[in-house]
A and B are shown apart, each in its own frame.
Chain A
Amino acid sequence: MTELVSLRETEPVTAGARGAPCAMRAVGLNAYFGATQAVRDVALDVPANEVTAIIGPSGCGKSTLLRTFNRMHETVPTARITGQVFFHGQDIYGDDVNPITLRRYVGMVFQRPTPFPTMSIRDNVAAGLRVQSGDKLDRRQVDEIVERALREAALWDEVKDRLKASATGISGGQQQRLCIARALATAPHVLLLDEPTASLDPLSSQKVEELVYELRKTMTVVIVTHNMQQAARVSDRTVFMLSGQLVETAPTRVMFTAPTDPRTEAYITGRFG
């Protein structure tokens, strides 16, 4: 018990040592689909340059919470939120915020690979660049960024000889890494990953996990996962959610060794969910 307390107390120091203020912060956040409330009064700090994992049983609102961070939640008809979400101190639901601009800094990768089927591998990676910077970049610059993004996503060696081929001709795991490369190409500050390995085989999952582990050097990552081992492997902090509420937030080591809330312990030890 003493160990737990001391670990918790050292945590803010660690964050401070990395010089990391909060990249994202949710305050009194509620999210709804019509009359159904998916997220209940969540307060959460996401430290910069760390990987934060959100775990919880299906339907606990973890994906919805993630989608409020780049305002994708509101693209669903009847969806709405109350409360506030801050991105580097700015309220992203403020009147003067354009969600399009926000999404250029807060990238997202979805559960299933979503390559654009009519585009080549190269054009898929460059898709975000095209909408964000218009045609200001010339071909060579785009090619450089595409290569960098594909290398970061550990996909370059596998696709470098067929950049002009259709993006649907590669495997599911490659497609998902392509989608990550597409999100990385525009150099977001925060990357939101919504169960990125849910539809992948173990080997592909491992590659994506290694990638996530590397990404913290350059950006803040929030990953939603229903795989607790994955959360333990890749994240610095873990958030446990249950029926829309945030039950516990702790450094990952603490969460998986000495959770404070009995519900967290029950979930982690596999008693439900």
Chain B
Amino acid sequence: MKRPSPDATAIPRTSVASASSSDSSPPTATGASILSSAEPARHLPSIQGSVVADRIYRTAILFFALCVPVLLLLIFVEVGVAGWPALRQFGFSFLTSSTWDPVKGEFGAAPAIFGTLLTSIIALVIATPLALGGAIFLSEFSPRWLRQPVSFLIDLLAAVPSVVFGLWGVFVLVPLLRTGLMPFLRDTLHLGATPFFSGPAYGPSVLAAGLILAIMVLPYIAAVSREVLMAVPRSQREAALALGATRWEAITGAVLPYARTGIFGGIILGLGRARGETMAVTMVIGNRHELAASLFAPGYTMASLIANEFAEATTDIHLSALMAVGFVLFLITLIVNGIARLLVRRVGEVRA
């Protein structure tokens, strides 16, 4: 076929005319024959094409998307099946008993469940204000030359391997707690009168684990909050300032409320990290099966319990009990994240 000559400016009109003139041709004539007979000098763009590629693409994408939930389901079932013997044998007392005796074959995970929840809460209580404060500084007050490097360092904190945090905990944080912070809280501030800060200051403790976790989740909350705060439109800040708000009032009255859903999401992300973190916690928590109100007492978390005992679990019931702990951790994760989702929706409702 010949290409249309560049000087044929009137082609559209002639082609329309020729197409209408060939309308009288028999209906059996194909489009191609009409075109070729009417105007052999040019060709109309073809709209024919295969949709197979698109279909393959869609199937592949669907497969990738399904991989994640299927994998999750498989792990859930696998852990559940493996933990079933222990769950069946101990029943509800697996969740409430604090006896964990591999020799007698008696297992109750209450201290580990309690420890996981408690250390996570301590971590969030300490990390959230720090991270949010840092994020507010970076997005609202920081000069531009400082924002980049500080943000980079915060992100770097998230990249430190947890075993390094654990080592730092063992060699720096725990001695510091034993000789400094714990006596200070207990004796100087007389908080020892409350059950939460009483007892001997060993060092390795629920408090140490909570502090380590606080440092580890801080970059997550800070990074997410920073991004969310930076995404708040300038117009919201200006609207508040134009009403005579101080800079601080503009932040608390307009910027933070606007960003609250996202900030909450960052906190939930941090909670997930705190709940699942294993290595660093195992190194500083003291690893003892005991329900104690004091933050100075050693404890356990579900993750550290599994990590610690899996290698030495010899009996079937011991192994099954550890799997059951994993199953409970899984369930708690589901429940907590479900509640968090509901809260995020509730918090974000007013905006929609």
Contacts and interface: CB of A to CB of B under 8 A. Distances in A.
Interface of A: 70, 72, 75, 77, 100-101, 103-104, 107-108, 110, 112, 114, 116-119, 127-128, 130-132, 166, 168, 179, 182-183, 186
Given A72-B238, A166-B350, A116 B254 contact: yes
Interface residues of B, number: 23
A127 B244 contact: no
Contacts of B235: 110, 112, 114
Given A118-B258, A179-B239, 15 more contacts: A75-B237, A100-B244, A100-B245, A101-B244, A110-B238, A110-B242, A114-B235, A114-B238, A114-B239, A117-B351, A118-B260, A118-B350, A118-B351, A131-B246, A182-B243
Contact of A127 (B238, B240, B350, B351): B240
Contact of B242 (A72, A77, A117, A168): A72
A199 to B, nearest CB: 11
Given A166-B350, A166-B351, A116 B244 contact: no
Contacts, number: 73
B144 interface: yes
Contact of B243 (A77, A112, A168, A183): A183
A117 B240 CA distance: 12
Contact of B236 (A114, A166, A168): A114
B286 interface: no
B257 interface: yes
Given A75-B238, A168-B351, A132 B257 contact: no
A110 B233 CA distance: 13
Nearest to B235: A114
B272 interface: no
- State the main secondary structure of chain B at its contact with A: helix
B253 interface: yes
Contacts of A183: 242-243
A117 B254 CA distance: 9
Nearest to A76: B234
Interface string B253-273: 110011010000000000000
B246 to A, nearest CB: 5
Nearest to A99: B241
B244 A75 contact: no
A168 B249 CA distance: 21
Contact of A107 (B238, B240, B242, B352): B242
Contact of B350 (A108, A117, A128): A117
A150 to B, nearest CB: 16
A77 B143 CA distance: 9
Contacts of A118: 257-258, 260, 350-351
| 6 closest Cβ pairs, A-B complex | A104-B244, A128-B243, A114-B239, A118-B257, A108-B242, A131-B245
Nearest to A127: B243
Given A118-B258, A168-B351, A186-B244, A131 B239 contact: no
Given A127-B253, A131-B249, A131-B253, A116 B239 contact: yes
Contacts of B237: 75
